[in-house]
Structure 1
Amino acid sequence: MNIRLLDRNNNVAILLAGIFAIIVGVGVARFAFTSLLPNMLEGFLTLTFAGILASFNFAGYLSGAIFSIFIKDINTKVKYFRIGMFLSVLTTFVLATTTNETLWLVSRVVAGFGSAMVLIVGGALVMVKLNFEDKTKAMGIHFSGIGFAILVSELISQYALREGTFSDAWMALTIFAFVISFYSVYILSFDKTLKQEAVKHKLSKSIFSTYVILLILAYFTEGVGFVVQGTFLPDIINSLKGLEGYGSVGWLIVGIAGIPSSIIWMRLAHNYGSLNIIIAAMALQVIGILIPAFSTNIYLNLLSGALYGSTFIGLVALFMHLGGKLAGKNPVVLMGSMTAAYGIGQVGAPLYSVALIEYFGNYNSTLYVTAAIVFSGIIFLVYAKKIEPSHT
């Protein structure tokens, strides 16, 4: 078994390397920030600066996501995937060794770019290397890595915080990411340089039908819905009366709920139609967003974490899968537009969040506005359903 796990063409090794890569690029370089946020707020961060850092991180991710769409050559993809892994580790090391605000801002932008290289370009490498006739289920396993990424980075962070500071936690995460990144970089490469002809298709504006525009607008609202809990959830729970200290448990549940989510949602979409299942998942997300605004019950607020973890990963998979089917021979244009819309939602949401939190002194108004935005996405999709093309 050990020898097979070092075989670059073994499906299990490829999936494991993909999950390890997501743990580094998404868990350590992105979600560990959420995990450590309550502790950093006690140490040196203000909530406003935390929101700005989150926004900068997503701006870096957005630039990387759009850049990655235009990397056609498979050997270039390998190079940028490795750059992404290196940047994910390096930027975490910066957070471990300094509290200089300018360096933190730069490192969060660069970490965002690195995350995009790992998640999008790395995902493409996994897709190319896997030797299955139908890769849909296998890619569902690959994206379960996002749930593992949250879970593993949270466990390492909380273990380090028992005896040390948030800087010690960042250092523990850096060392862990550095060690496991070698496996991913080794497996997700090719024994020899591949020759791959880039197929060129004419750009066609006809793809942007009313139906597709509604889909893109809905995905923008999901970008907003993803960010607010993805940035502040542990602190939201800790800020509720009687729930101080339960934020880390809530975040742990996000990771656990996220592990099987894309596999389950994709199966449901296959049986009941993508649009129906996207609407159902977004409705559950709205409920999860509103729970902390209406209740301080521990079980309901842990359910809020479970609803978030089980929907946000699945929704990215569902939207991208539907977009891929609609795009046909023009995936770059549509995927780029969808990714940009989602990214704009991600960049803007932390900024209005901290403005409302500073003004009202709690998270309630932010949660109301976010739930309303995601709900507007559901309305877009209900309308889209009425004009849905028959082939989706």
Structure 2
Amino acid sequence: MNDLTRAALDLRAGPAAARRAAFACMVTLAVALGVGRFAFTPLLPLMLKSGVLDIRQGGWLASANYAGYFIGALSCAALRVDAARVVRCGLGATALLVLAMGIVDGLALWCAVRFVAGIASAWTFVFASQWGLRRLAELGESAWGGLIYTGPGFGIVGTGLFVSVAGGYGATAGWIGFGIVSAVLTALVWRVFAPRDRAAHSTARAAPASKTDDHGAARTSPPSPENESTAAAMARRAHRADAWWLVILYGIPGFGYIITATFLPVIARAALPGSAWPDLFWPMFGVALMAGALTGARLPAHWDNRTLLAACYVLQALGIASGIVWPSAGGFAFGSVLIGLPFTAITLFAMREARRLHGNDAAGLMGYATAAYGLGQIVGPLIAAPIAARTGSFTIALWLAAGALLAGAAGLVAVSLARPR
């Protein structure tokens, strides 16, 4: 079946095709991010308890994964491969690498596995986002975009509850179990990501570049440079500046949230020794994440994505502060919700802004923005773990994260005021 035939069938299917695409991308992000990246968070206390790691080594292991994520995201701009093929490869690699964490032994091997897993996660995230948002725009069903970004929440809730119930079997069993589940989920959505026909792909690449807005409406290609007026040239320069501001300011929440996202169960267990609550804060984070993604997708499309991002940064800063000033079950629960609600909404708004700026050619900008986010994630554990080891507390590192988020929010508001949409 060629692309034209598939497109005609999909248009007749309408919402059903959109639901199928959104569900497949949701499962993809559940595997790539919810399991591939964040299964480490609930398993880290088990690894620490068994003595195979200390807190500094846990920080290095986390940063190895985030370093791979950074490299993978940065390389997305250079990849010239069909998005569906990348998603398939990323899903298969993630399942195998999660499984490998339960089979290999030793910090060096674990760091290598987590580094490669980070690359796979970044490729899968960027190209699944590109494939899914473009598909929904083509079908005129962009509102389903919120479902895509609930995927990490499903993965986080699933891994958190699994460890809470079956944590007694140890981290090794957890990694192997998560690898098997990832393989099953990959098989479930494999056929949806059918690679495009080579001939149709060549035709599409040769065709004039057309861009779509958040509703999928076509936008005309920019005029040739020789026919551009001075005003148009200035507008293009402003457009490029907006893209760079997005990259820079999107990197801040990577640092802002990652300390909590990596060490939340460890922090909660230290503050509430002997309590059953610490095992539940991570699943709470995941549930809030799903609610935030769905809510964010339903906000009016004409609202400025940069202002929405600023509001999300403030919410996460308040969530971090909640656990510091109120180190109780209520404080950690409230903080988990406030950090989780905007988590993938931030990603949704940033990817929508990338599509607003670059349309269907947004994979490169998405990759650069994701790389900036990944850089923030690398720095977070490298700062937090030594501070915690030296002071016996994550408080200083968490205040730094909250301050960075507030600074990022101020930067986004300033950019939106200086450059109205």
- TM-score normalised according to structure 2 size: 0.82
- Rg (Cα) greater in structure: 2
Which amino acid in structure 1 is aligned with residue 160 of structure 2? E
> What pairs up with 1:81-92 in 2 under 5 angstroms?
81-92=87-98
What is the DSSP-based 3-state SS (H/G/I as helix, E as strand, rest coil) of the residue aligned with 2:38? helix
**Offset at residue 165 of structure 1 (A):** 1.1
Larger displacement relative to structure 2 (149-158 or 189-198): 189-198
Residue number among 141, 149, 154 corresponding to 1:143 in the alignment = 149
- Find the aligned partners of 1:386 and 1:277 in 2 and give their Cα distance: 13
- Find the aligned partners of 1:340 and 1:207 in 2 and give their Cα distance: 22
**Offset at residue 73 of structure 1 (A):** 4.1
Aligned in 2, Cα 1:336/1:252: closer, same or farther, shift over 3 Å? closer
**Offset at residue 94 of structure 1 (A):** 1.5
Residue number among 16, 19, 40 corresponding to 1:12 in the alignment = 19
- TM-score normalised according to structure 1 size: 0.88
- Find the aligned partners of 1:87 and 1:332 in 2 and give their Cα distance: 21
**Offset at residue 383 of structure 1 (A):** 1.8
**Offset at residue 82 of structure 1 (A):** 2.1
* Contact residue 11 and residue 131 of structure 1 kept, 8 A: no
* Contact residue 94 and residue 103 of structure 1 kept, 8 A: no
* Identity fraction in percent: 24
- Find the aligned partners of 1:273 and 1:291 in 2 and give their Cα distance: 28
Which deviations, in whole Å up to 9, do the C-alpha atoms of 1:119-143 show, x marking residues without a partner? Answer: 2223333345558633421121111
Larger displacement relative to structure 2 (214-223 or 30-39): 214-223
> What pairs up with 1:204-353 in 2 under 5 angstroms?
206-207=237-238, 212-241=243-272, 244-268=275-299, 270=301, 272-327=303-358, 331-332=362-363, 334-353=365-384
- Find the aligned partners of 1:188 and 1:327 in 2 and give their Cα distance: 23
Which amino acid in structure 2 is aligned with residue 176 of structure 1? V
* Contact residue 87 and residue 127 of structure 2 kept, 8 A: yes
- The aligned residue for residue 114 of structure 2 is 108
- The aligned residue for residue 35 of structure 1 is 42
Instruction: Return 5+ residue gaps in structure 1 as ranges.
Output: 1-6
What is the DSSP-based 3-state SS (H/G/I as helix, E as strand, rest coil) of the residue aligned with 1:79? helix
2:194 pairs with 1:166: no
Aligned in 2, Cα 1:378/1:166: closer, same or farther, shift over 3 Å? same
Residue number among 157, 162, 171 corresponding to 2:163 in the alignment = 157
Residue number among 9, 21, 26 corresponding to 2:28 in the alignment = 21
* Contact residue 70 and residue 332 of structure 1 kept, 8 A: no
* Contact residue 237 and residue 244 of structure 1 kept, 8 A: no
- Find the aligned partners of 2:57 and 2:403 in 1 and give their Cα distance: 25
Aligned in 2, Cα 1:134/1:329: closer, same or farther, shift over 3 Å? closer
- Find the aligned partners of 1:153 and 1:117 in 2 and give their Cα distance: 22
Which deviations, in whole Å up to 9, do the C-alpha atoms of 1:269-310 show, x marking residues without a partner? Answer: 536432332222111110101112111221121011111111
Aligned in 2, Cα 1:215/1:175: closer, same or farther, shift over 3 Å? closer
Aligned in 2, Cα 1:375/1:333: closer, same or farther, shift over 3 Å? same
- Find the aligned partners of 2:27 and 2:103 in 1 and give their Cα distance: 24
- Find the aligned partners of 1:177 and 1:272 in 2 and give their Cα distance: 36
What is the DSSP-based 3-state SS (H/G/I as helix, E as strand, rest coil) of the residue aligned with 1:37? helix
* Contact residue 23 and residue 152 of structure 1 kept, 8 A: no
- Find the aligned partners of 2:30 and 2:365 in 1 and give their Cα distance: 28
Which deviations, in whole Å up to 9, do the C-alpha atoms of 1:229-257 show, x marking residues without a partner? Answer: 22111112112145744222100101111
What is the DSSP-based 3-state SS (H/G/I as helix, E as strand, rest coil) of the residue aligned with 2:299? helix
Which amino acid in structure 1 is aligned with residue 68 of structure 2? G
Cα RMSD (Å)? 2.8
Which deviations, in whole Å up to 9, do the C-alpha atoms of 1:18-39 show, x marking residues without a partner? Answer: 2222222112211110111111
What is the DSSP-based 3-state SS (H/G/I as helix, E as strand, rest coil) of the residue aligned with 1:268? coil
Which deviations, in whole Å up to 9, do the C-alpha atoms of 1:184-233 show, x marking residues without a partner? Answer: 22222148556223268899982576655444332121111131122111
Larger displacement relative to structure 2 (280-289 or 238-247): 238-247
